[in-house]
Amino acid sequence: MILIRSDVLARHRPEIWTAQEGPSADPERERLLAEATILHEIRHFHDALLCPPLYDRFMIEAERNAVAATVIAALSENGERDPRKSLGEEHGHLIEMHRENAVRFTRRNAPAYEPASVSGIGQKITLVDLLEANALVTELSFLHEAFDRGAYDHWLSLRSSLPAKYTKIISRFSRSRDSFGEDLQRVSAVLMRCLYRPEPSAAALNEVVGLTESEIDALCDARVIGKQLTETDKCQNYAMFTILEPDQHPRRVFTNAIDITELHSLCRNRMRESQFRVDSYHRGIRDFPMPATGFFADADMVTERRLPFVRKADIRAAYGDAFSLSGAKDRQRRATLACGFFPTFGTVPCLDLSRVDLMLGLRFGTQVLFSEKVSYNHAMDQAYAAVYRRWME
C-alpha cells in the first residue's frame, strides 16, 4: 500500500475531492504534480519488491502478521475478545521466534544500510537516499514528458528544498536542461544497478562516478541489471518461514509470503519488459502490480477541519472501490472521510482492500507484543486504536 495525503488527491481529482482552499488557478498543472507524487510512492513499492533488504522486510512482516493472527485468534471468540482466554506457552514461543527472526534479518541486511562516501556527492549516502533518488527520478521523468522544459525548472525548485543527500545523486549525473530526459534515464539506470543486486549499497555508486556517459551506459545496460536480478533471485530462499505447532511438526502457514514472491516475480518481469527504462516504466505503470492507495488527513487538517470533502460513493465511482476507516467534519460541518483505501488509478490492487486493512490493523494492534512502535499517520492511528479499544471492552 502507498499512503497519500488527501489534499494531494484533491489536486489530482478535484471533481470528486473538494479542497477547502477552493479551485486552483492552474488545475491541470496541479493534477500532473499530484500524479507525479503518486508515481513517486508507487516506485517505492516496486523498488521494495526488487531490492533484497526491502524484500526481506516484506517477508518478515508477513511472518509477523501470521504470528499476530494466531495470537489474536487465541484470545478471541466469534471475533470478540474473550476475557476467559489467555496466551499459552506455544504463543510465547511464536512471538519469541519472530523477534529472533527480525533481529537476524536486521543483522543480515545491516551492510546494505551502511553510509558511504561517494566522490562528488559526499559522505553518509545511504540505501534510503538511493531509493528516494530513484522515486524522484520517476516523478521528474513523468513531468518531463508532461511539461517538457518546464520539468527542469520544477527540478531546480525541488533541488533547493529537498534533502541535499539524494538531490546531489541526481545532480551528479545531470548536465543541462537540453539533456534532462537523457540524464534522468542514465541516473535511473545507475540507481537500479545499485539497488537490484544481491548486495545493494550506496557504496556501489563509486563504481560509476567519474566514468564517461558511454561507459556508464555500458555498465548500467538493461542486460547487466537483468543479470543482477537473476543472481539476486538465486540468493533469496524463504523456505525457513514456518510455524511450529504444539506437536512440533512444522507447517507452512505464511500465504502472504507466497503472495509476495508472486508479486516480486511479476514486478521483475514487467521491469525487464520495460528494458529498465524509467520513461517506459511510468507509461506502463498499470501493467505492474499495483498497491492500494491509503488516503489520510494529517493531525492539523483534522483539528482545523481542513479536510477535502469527499463522498465514499464518489470514490467508488471514480476508482472502482473504497474502504473507509474513519470520518470527520469539515468546516461546513459536512461528514467527510478522514482515512481509508481505494484502488490506485482505478487499477485492481494486488491485495484486496479489506486484506490491506487486516494486515495494517494486525500490525498496529499487536505492537506491544512484538516490542515495536507502529505508527502510520494521525488519522489511521486513531482509527485502529478505536478498533482495539472496542475489541478489548
Q: Kindly state the average pLDDT of the residues 59-66.
A: 85
pLDDT digits (tens, 9 = 90+) for 73-118: 888 887 788 888 888 888 888 888 888 888 988 898 999 999 999 9
pLDDT(323) > 90? yes
Nearest one of 112, 259, 297 to 197, comparing CA atoms: 112
Contact yes or no for 291/48 (Cβ under 8 A) = no
CA distance 17 to 309: 6
DSSP state of 350: S
Rounded CA gap, 143 and 152, in Å? 9
**12 pLDDT tier (thresholds 50, 70, 90):** very high
Of residues 215, 168, 171, 165, the one with CA closest to residue 193:
215
When pLDDT is cut at 50, 70 and 90, the band that residue 256 belongs to is low
Global pTM value: 0.92
Residue 16 predicted with pLDDT over 90? yes
Beta bridge partners of 80: 77
Please, where are the H alpha helices in the chain?
6-12, 27-50, 52-74, 89-109, 127-147, 150-161, 164-172, 180-195, 213-219, 222-235, 255-273, 278-283, 299-303, 312-319, 353-365, 378-392
Compute the C-alpha angle 65/69/75, nearest 5°.
145
pLDDT at 67: 86
Q: Which of 16-25, 37-46, 347-356 has the lowest mean pLDDT?
A: 16-25
The mean predicted confidence, pLDDT, of the chain is: 89
> For 258-301, how does the pLDDT look when each residue is reduced to its tens digit (9 = 90+)?
788 889 999 999 999 999 999 999 999 999 999 999 999 999 99
Please report the pLDDT score of residue 50 as a whole number: 95
Contact 220, 41 (CB under 8 A): no
Higher per-residue confidence, 343 vs 392 = 343
Q: In this predicted model, which residue has the larger pLDDT, 185 or 162?
A: 185
pLDDT tens digits for range 324-378: 999 999 989 999 999 999 999 999 999 899 989 999 999 999 998 888 899 999 9
Question: Quick count: other Cβ atoms within 10 Å of Cβ 245?
Answer: 11
